[in-house]
Amino acid sequence: MSGALDDVRRPVRRTADAVGETTVHEGELLRHPAHTRVLHWLVAIFFVPALLSGFAIYSPWLFHWLTPLFGGGAMTRLLHPWFSLGFVIAFAAQLVNWLALMSWTPDDTRWVRRIREYVTHSEQREPDYVGFFNAGQKMYFWTIAVSALLFLLSGLPLWFPSSFGPILVAVSYVLHDVAALLMLVGFVVHIYQSTAAIPGTFHSMTRGVVRRSWAWTHHPRWYREMTGQDGSHSQPISDRR
Ligand code: HEM
């Protein structure tokens, strides 16, 4: 299975990375190569209008100010499923790209048990066993995967109601709204975490690189794998508020 996936992934990654080169300066580490960044921003480009047009359809009374963005009410309804389909397809590609990095390990269960320390920022540095992604990031990723599937399964009956029947359509409304709520909460936390909460994270998705001290502080095992050093001389960067 993973061999067949690699056969698809390798040439796509090679082509994308040849087009978008990433420059890594002294004191930095490559975190997200060009193909990952392109996929991430494609997901966002489809997700944000899907979310906004979804709000406008959900409550035209509250969100009527959003519909002019899409060319009026009728156009908003027409475009919403297409934005959403784009989001599902782009995320499916990211799922294949990140599958190995996002797989759950016993260390992730350890991380979840100490989530209180993470949320209260009682320690400046993440535990030694935290690799490329921490368990919180993995949970966010899998929540999106489940929600995207829910969106797709419940979206089709809402798109073509006459082909499905009233009960399925009614259930789909509920599932669609539950998935949207999950995604909305996750998205707000995600933007906060990857910009204001942890400075230095955002440009991993723009320039593709992070500072070594960032890696040592937030992803110590990944730092060791990349550099071969444990970096015990380093000082944690006190950038978590
Ligand atoms: C629009 C504003 C967004 C910003 C500023 C943003 C920023 C970032 C950054 C900086 C990372 C890299 C984190 C790291 O290397 O540790 C990242 C990762 C990620 N992004 Fe976004 N992103 C945005 C939108 C989205 C959207 C719309 C989705 C999907 C619905 C998404 C899903 C993810 C996932 C699954 C990851 C990997 C796990 C994680 O870091 O939480 N992002 N994002």
pLDDT, residue 232, reads 65
pLDDT, residue 240, reads 44
pLDDT, residue 12, reads 74
Output 98-105 pairs: Cβ under 8 A, ≥24 positions apart: 98/36, 98/141, 99/5, 100/2, 101/132, 101/133, 102/133, 102/138, 102/141, 102/142, 104/135, 104/138
Burial of residue 99 (CB within 10 Å: 0-12, 13-18, 19+) is middle
- Residue 3, pLDDT > 80, answer no
Is 179 near ligand 1, meaning CB less than 6 Å away?
no
Structure tokens at 4: 């067949």
- Model confidence band, residue 241 (pLDDT cutoffs 50, 70, 90): very low
Cβ atoms of 32 and 120 closer than 8 Å: no
Burial of residue 218 (CB within 10 Å: 0-12, 13-18, 19+) is buried
Q: What is the mean pLDDT of residues 199-223?
A: 96
* Ligand 1: nearest atom to the Cα of 87: 30
Least confident of 133-147, 193-207, 220-234: 220-234
Cβ atoms of 66 and 53 closer than 8 Å: yes
pLDDT, residue 185, reads 96
pLDDT, residue 235, reads 66
- Residue 39, pLDDT > 60, answer yes
CA dihedral 72, 78, 80, 83 (to 10 degrees): -110
Is 201 near ligand 1, meaning CB less than 6 Å away?
yes
- Residue 200, pLDDT > 80, answer yes
Q: Calculate what percentage of the chain has a pLDDT beyond 70.
A: 94
pLDDT, residue 234, reads 63
- Residue 15, pLDDT > 80, answer no
Expressed in angstroms and rounded, the spacing between residue 207 Cα and the centre of ligand 1 is 14
Structure tokens at 38: 């392109």
pLDDT, residue 90, reads 98
Cβ atoms of 56 and 63 closer than 8 Å: yes
Q: Which of 126, 194, 203 to mutate to test the pocket of ligand 1 (most atoms within 8 A of CB)?
A: 194
- Residue 2, pLDDT > 70, answer no
* Ligand 1: nearest atom to the Cα of 201: 10
Q: Can you tell me the distance from the alpha carbon of 210 to that of 29, in angstroms, rounded to the nearest whole number?
A: 5
CA dihedral 204, 215, 19, 94 (to 10 degrees): -70
pLDDT, residue 239, reads 47
Going by CA atoms, what residue is nearest to atom 6 of ligand 1?
191
Amino acid identity for residue 215 in this structure? A
Q: Can you tell me the distance from the alpha carbon of 110 to that of 197, in angstroms, rounded to the nearest whole number?
A: 23
Q: What is the mean pLDDT of residues 153-172?
A: 96
pLDDT, residue 233, reads 55
Structure tokens at 119: 């949320």
- Residue 46, pLDDT > 50, answer yes
- Residue 238, pLDDT > 60, answer no
Q: What is the mean pLDDT of residues 24-28?
A: 93
Q: What is the mean pLDDT of residues 107-116?
A: 96
Expressed in angstroms and rounded, the spacing between residue 240 Cα and the centre of ligand 1 is 18
pLDDT, residue 144, reads 98
pLDDT, residue 93, reads 97
Cβ atoms of 241 and 121 closer than 8 Å: yes
**What mean pLDDT, rounded, does the chain reach?**
92
